[in-house]
Chains A and B, each alone.
Chain A
Amino acid sequence: MSYATGLRCRKCGQEYPLQPIKICDFCLSPVEVNYDYKAMAGVVSHQKISEGPFTMWRYRDLLPVEDKREIDIGTGFTPLLKADNLGRELGLDKLYIKNDCVNPTYSFKDRAVSVAITKAREFGFDTIACASTGNLAASVAAHAAKANMKSYVFVPANVEPGKLVGVAIYKPNLVTVDGSYDDVNRLCAEVAQRYNWGFININLRPYYAEGSKTLGFEVAEQLGWQPPDCVVVPAASGLLFTRIWKGLQELSTLKLIGAVNTHMYLTQASGSSPIVHAFEAGSLHVHPVTPNTIVTSIAIGNPADGYHALMVARQSGGGASSATDEEAIQGMKLLAQTEGIFAEAAGGVVIAGLKKLAAAGAIKKDQLTVAFITGAGPRTQEIVSDVVQSFHVQPNLESFSKVLDVQV
């Protein structure tokens, strides 16, 4: 059984039953799932969780699903690695990397989609849909394949076909729309009103959001049931950032960890950094921008959870940092060349942001810090194609020794 009791508006507090709804009817703000933590506390324990599967579903009691047959493609419980080499570069003694690149479709989106699609089936939907060209689309299509559900992925018609291979391989219904991203979003909103489908980023968003909490749960468990001192998280809509915080708070409420004194830092690409702008300006409103960055997986100009992300950064004594495209690429290379992890550009933004925060003394040498790497690099590997620099030799030892200047 689930301990979810309903949905509540994060802005005005209006409550709703657990239904597929997109936003608060009154103030048009995002809604989130509420739980009966008292009842939940009577059931969850370190031991019960440790006896669960080595996937995100070991935290089933803390998720809003009733169905025992969750739609799982093997997501979660990804490695938390002590990053000594990178730590030395940045002057941090207790640096860890949470490597979510190794999820089934190579990004953290699998966590969110696994919960959303399980919930979609509970609601009776036989079709699931989203608007995305990247990680989200791949995850939705893969989970729909596993669940034997129909899926529709909406993309602008001018997206390069090569970019869609990692999505099309799962055989969703791929809908190419003559128009911009705004047009695609608008069409999706209209389709969602007309058809009885589960839209990941519309009527399933409150449930999708809950899956992201498991990143916070896992890190705390992998650290021996303690919260980190600092975390650095990439931010697009701000949803992941706020849900890692919510995950840590829930563990504390349930007395599975102590008080949470984690300093929450978010990072964005400079070309799409409305939350960082607002943080630096001391504003509580995130003014939309038009994204202009190669870091497409976090390029959202009008972040739906921007206000809440700002509040978390402030309340936790954390902050916000941005990185240029060039810094992001350097960050990708630094992570790969120190820790052997090939992240997407958003991971480069995290490493670049971490580097700045450490250099500025915001994150201190002895603080236990976790950097969240949320997507793998190969899907967009063309942005670092300049790394291919080889030694050209003839097929004989003499040439090899000469070119590489290696003595036999």
Chain B
Amino acid sequence: MAKRQVMFTFPRKLIKEPIIYQLSHKFKVVTNIRRADVSEDRGWVVLELEGDEKEIDAGVDWVREKGVRVDPIVGDIVEG
């Protein structure tokens, strides 16, 4: 079982959709929310995903396709 820490950033049009609920039902991925801030026009959620590596990959791809931005929690030093 793998764990991955990510941040989801939701645009306004997706605020009302239960995307995290759907993620854990469509894929064998346990979602564990650690921090979040959601308002009427945008929102972000920091969470840990646990499951098989392939299930997490597929789940994250599905979340992205829905229009949510997905960022890793670590590893922000790339080009610098």
What residues make up the interface of A, taking CB atoms closer than 8 Å to B? 11, 22-23, 26-29, 109, 130-136, 181-182, 184-186, 188-190, 193, 200-202, 205, 236-237, 285, 287-288, 296-304
Are A200 and B79 touching (Cβ within 8 A)?
no
B5 within 8 A of A: yes
How many angstroms from the CA of A182 to the CA of B69 in the assembled complex? 12
Residues A23 and B79 in contact in the complex (CB < 8 Å), given A28-B34, A285-B37, A285-B44: no
B75 within 8 A of A: yes
Are B79 and A302 touching (Cβ within 8 A)?
no
Contact of A288 among B9, B34, B53, B78 (CB under 8 A): B9
Residues A237 and B77 in contact in the complex (CB < 8 Å), given A186-B72, A287-B9, A288-B69: yes
Contact of B78 among A22, A181, A202 (CB under 8 A): A181
Chain B, Cβ-Cβ closest to A109:
B80
Chain B, Cβ-Cβ closest to A240:
B80
Number of residue pairs spanning A and B whose beta carbons lie under 8 angstroms apart: 93
- What chain A residues lie within 8 Å of B7 (beta carbons)? 288, 302
What residues make up the interface of B, taking CB atoms closer than 8 Å to A? 2, 4-5, 7, 9, 34-35, 37, 42, 44, 46, 48, 53, 69, 71-80
Chain A, Cβ-Cβ closest to B70:
A182
A-B contact pairs, 21 of them (CB 8 A): A22-B74, A27-B46, A28-B5, A28-B35, A28-B46, A132-B79, A181-B79, A182-B72, A184-B78, A190-B53, A201-B75, A202-B74, A205-B74, A236-B77, A285-B37, A287-B42, A299-B79, A300-B80, A301-B71, A302-B71, A304-B74
Q: Closest approach, in angstroms, between the C-beta of B45 and any C-beta of chain A?
A: 11
Known: A27-B46, A132-B80, A287-B42. 7 other contacts (CB 8 A): A130-B77, A185-B75, A202-B74, A236-B80, A285-B37, A288-B71, A297-B79
How many angstroms from the CA of A205 to the CA of B74 in the assembled complex? 9
Q: Which of A130, A182, A299 has the most CB of B within 10 A?
A: A182
Q: Closest approach, in angstroms, between the C-beta of B69 and any C-beta of chain A?
A: 6
How many angstroms from the CA of A301 to the CA of B70 in the assembled complex? 12
Are B5 and A300 touching (Cβ within 8 A)?
no
How many angstroms from the CA of A132 to the CA of B75 in the assembled complex? 10
How many angstroms from the CA of A131 to the CA of B79 in the assembled complex? 8
Contact of A133 among B42, B46, B53, B78 (CB under 8 A): B78
Are B73 and A131 touching (Cβ within 8 A)?
no
How many angstroms from the CA of A297 to the CA of B80 in the assembled complex? 4
How many angstroms from the CA of A23 to the CA of B42 in the assembled complex? 25
- What chain A residues lie within 8 Å of B44 (beta carbons)? 285, 287
Chain B, Cβ-Cβ closest to A107:
B80
Are A202 and B75 touching (Cβ within 8 A)?
yes
- What chain A residues lie within 8 Å of B9 (beta carbons)? 287-288
Q: Which of A28, A288, A299 has the most CB of B within 10 A?
A: A28
